[in-house]
Amino acid sequence: MKLKKNTLNIILVVGFLLAVSIGTFKLVQNARLEGYIAERNNVCANLSLALSDEEGIDECYCYYEGFKTGNQAVDEQTMPLCACECVVNGTSYTVGLIEPRA
């Protein structure tokens, strides 16, 4: 009986450690993803300013979107897509710029 109880305790401890490990991995993965998205948003914001300064363009607003490449989650495998909504001579245009992978 004592052997069964020890086995059960070991299974519970291993299960707990596995759950903690998975949770820690998810936290690190989420932190990386948040940093990645913040970096992409910064690139898009700078592009907004640059395009708005161009002659002939009334205004531009760019923002980050993930263009999925078949993966289930938005992650580093997702192509960075900077979508821009611009007004040129009173006409609105929407364009998407995909950043090429190195």
| pLDDT tens for the chain, residues 1 to 102 | 454 555 555 554 444 444 444 454 455 566 676 777 677 677 777 777 777 777 778 888 887 776 555 555 555 555 557 778 888 888 888 877 665 554
Measured between alpha carbons, how far is 76 from 40 in angstroms, rounded to an integer?
11
Measured between alpha carbons, how far is 102 from 80 in angstroms, rounded to an integer?
12
Say what the pTM is: 0.45
pLDDT score, position 28:
57
Measured between alpha carbons, how far is 20 from 14 in angstroms, rounded to an integer?
10
Residue 92's domain comprises: 2-98
pLDDT score, position 84:
81
- How many structural domains comprise the chain? 1
Cβ-count burial 7-28 (b if 16+ within 10 Å, e if not): eeeeeeeeeeeeeeeeeeeeee
